[in-house]
Amino acid sequence: MAGAVISELPTVLTTAELCERWRCTPRTLERMARDGRIRRVKLRGGVRYPTDEVLRIEQGEDRPAVQRVAEAQAVYAVLDVPRENPLLHRARETGSQQAASDAMLKIAGSNGPLREVATWWLLNRLSNSWADHNLRAALKVTGIYDPDAIKLEEVVTPKPPANMPELSIAEIARLTGSAARGKEISTRCLMCHAIGGTGAELGPALDGWGRGKSPEVIARAIVTPGAEIAQGYDATELKTTDGLTIQGLLIKEGDPLMMRSQGGITQIVPAGRVASRRRMPGSLMMSAAQLGLTAQDVADLIAFLRAE
Ligand code: HEC
């Protein structure tokens, strides 16, 4: 199933077929369905996933929160859209790893939405089955990854000033919010969250997140982000040998590592440049007060997120 071209796909997939395609467990699909991230239909024989829905997710408009699954999906999306990419089409037809690697290099060297995942995919193949495809040299020539020339950038989530008063959850819950205003305010979240298909992916995509949640629960997530960390979003802090601090999500282990930080910045970090590394206790998210939000702003955001 994995790798079938679009025209060969049936109109619906079974749980087993989708699990095989996405290399995920049925539990992941359950969780996605429960969170409203994937639509499915009940047929007599059990649940089915409409193929157009599967492709929509793979094409990255609404990638699921669990990063590992999202990455695998996007890679499969790339490999499964032969018509849009003649190189990949050739890779599919000939089964040639070299052709697939050429195509991935093109995508990783572009500025498209799949750039990060294509880079991730290539770097993961540096030290295993693809080591003999001269990938290391190709990554260097294309400027995607040259360990000797790489320039790293410091990225940290500012700490809240000690005297900054927190917004009151009780007060926010008493206010009436406007979803339209909340939508406007939500542009401040895009440096870290995807909403409606745009925005960075440092935190989970927020579409559908607030549906069915109480105003208090949503308010707490925005006012005190560190109180509870969304699953799969533990923060890592690297210190480099030249004294830079990079905070973000560690999306690839080994040599090199990959770190995704706020503002859509993903950096490739040669293992030799890492002086120390720790799991951060708090969240990479800035609090409502730090983002300059008032209680009314948060109430508006709540109205927007619940209506999404
Ligand atoms: C500087 C980056 C950053 C900004 C800005 C930011 N967030 Fe977040 N947010 C995160 C990260 C990272 C997480 C996951 C870690 C956590 O749960 O704290 C998160 C988690 C969340 C969660 C909890 C999701 C869950 O599944 O539990 C909600 C809700 C949320 N953010 C809403 C917002 C809203 C609304 C805004 C804009 C007002 C916003 N965030 C701005 C980084 C950010």
Distance 225 CA to ligand 1 centre (A): 7
Asked if residue 193 has its Cβ within 6 Å of ligand 1, the reply is: yes
Q: What is the pLDDT of residue 100?
A: 64
Is 69 among the domain residues? yes
Share of the chain above pLDDT 90, in %: 41
The packing angle between helices 26-34 and 15-22, to 10°, is 100
Task: Work out the average pLDDT over 150-163.
Answer: 89
Better pLDDT: 9 or 225:
225
User: Between residues 269 and 4, which one has the greater pLDDT?
Assistant: 269
pLDDT of residue 130: 54
Last residue of a domain, one of 113, 141, 169: 141
pLDDT of 65 over the 60 cut: no
**135 and 154 co-located in one domain:** no
Q: With contact defined as beta carbons under 8 Å apart, do 247 and 280 qualify?
A: yes
Q: Is the CB of 55 under 6 A from ligand 1?
A: no
3-state secondary structure labels for all residues of the chain? CCCCCHHHCCCEEEHHHHHHHHCCCHHHHHHHHHCCCCCCEEECCEEEEEHHHHHHHHCCCCCCCCHHHHHHHHHHHHHCCHHHCHHHHHHHHHCCHHHHHHHHHHHHCCCCCCHHHHHHHHHHCCCCCCHHHCHHHHHHHCCCCCCCCCCCCCECCCCCCCCCCCCCHHHHHHCCCCHHHHHHHHHHHCCCCCECCECCCCCCCCCCCCCCCCHHHHHHHHHCHHHCCCCCCCCEEEEECCCCEEEEEEEECCCCEEEEEHHHEEEEECHHHEEEEEECCCCCCCCCCCCCCCHHHHHHHHHHHHHC
Q: What is the pLDDT of residues 48-57, one digit of tens each?
A: 988 888 877 7
Question: Would the pLDDT of 241 be above 50?
Answer: yes
Greatest mean pLDDT among 49-53, 190-194, 230-234, 241-245 lies in 241-245
Evaluate: CB of 283 within 6 angstroms of ligand 1: yes
- For atom 28 of ligand 1, the residue with the nearest CA is 221
Instruction: For residue 1, tell me if it sits in a domain.
Output: no
Give me 26's structure tokens. 């049925």
β-pair type (41-43, 46-50): antiparallel
Higher pLDDT, 89 or 182: 182
Q: How far is the CA of 222 from the centre of ligand 1 (A)?
A: 7
Sign (positive or negative) of CA dihedral 233, 207, 264, 294: negative
Backbone conformation region of residue 3, classed left if phi is above 0, alpha if psi is from -120 to 50, else beta = left
**Cβ atoms 292, 167 nearer than 8 A:** no
pLDDT average, residue stretch 188-199: 90
* Residue range of the domain that includes 187: 147-308
CB 266 near ligand 1, within 6 Å: no
Task: Report the pLDDT value the prediction gives residue 174, as an integer from 0 to 100.
Answer: 95
Q: How many domains is the chain partitioned into structurally?
A: 2
Chain centre to alpha carbon of residue 258: 13
Do 209 and 132 reside in the same domain of the chain? no
Question: How does pLDDT run across 67-100, given as a tens digit for each residue?
Answer: 344 444 445 555 544 344 555 555 444 445 565 6
pLDDT of residue 173: 93
Nearest atom (ligand 1) to Cα of 297: 38
pLDDT of 99 reads: 58
The reply to whether ligand 1 has any atom less than 6 angstroms from the CB of 203 is: yes
* Ligand 1 atom at shortest distance from the alpha carbon of 301: 35
For residue 169, give the amino acid letter.
Answer: I
What mean pLDDT do residues 114-122 have? 82
What's the CA-to-centroid distance between 296 and ligand 1, angstroms?
18
Looking at residue 267, which CATH number applies to its domain? 2.30.30.100
State which ligand 1 atom lies nearest to the alpha carbon of 191.
5
pLDDT at 279 over 90: yes
Q: What is the predicted pLDDT for the residue at 78?
A: 53
Which burial class, exposed, middle or buried, applies to 101 when counting CB atoms under 10 A from its CB (0-12, 13-18, 19+)?
Answer: buried
Which atom of ligand 1 is closest in space to residue 286's alpha carbon? 1
Residue among 234, 285, 308 to mutate when testing ligand 1 (max atoms within 8 A of CB): 285
Q: Which of 69-78, 96-105, 119-128, 180-189 has the lowest mean pLDDT?
A: 69-78
Is the confidence at residue 133, as pLDDT, over 50?
A: yes
- CA-nearest residue for atom 22, ligand 1, is 221
Residues 43 and 160 placed together within one structural domain of the fold: no
Average pLDDT, the chain: 81
As a whole number of angstroms, the distance between CA 141 and CA 78 comes to: 23
Res 83: pLDDT: 41
Q: pTM of the entire structure? A: 0.72
Q: Which atom of ligand 1 is nearest to the CA of 293?
A: 38
Q: Assign residue 36 a region: left if phi > 0, alpha if psi is -120 to 50, beta otherwise?
A: left
Whether 63 is in a domain gets the answer yes
Looking at residue 296, its pLDDT comes to 97
The answer on 195 and 132 residing in a single domain is no
Amino acid, single-letter form, for residue 201: E
Nearest to 250 by CA among 122, 149, 144, 120: 120
For ligand 1, the distance from its centroid to the CA atom of residue 197, given in whole angstroms, is 16
Same domain (yes/no): 135, 153 = no
Residue that terminates a domain, selected from 141, 166, 198: 141
Residues 152 and 291 in one domain: yes
Given a cut of 50, is residue 41 above it in pLDDT?
A: yes
Of 24-33, 135-144, 270-279, 285-294, the range with the highest mean pLDDT is 270-279
pLDDT band at 129 (very low <50, low <70, confident <90, very high): low
Instruction: Mark whether 52 and 194 lie in a shared domain.
Output: no
pLDDT tens per residue, range 163-178: 888 899 999 999 999 9
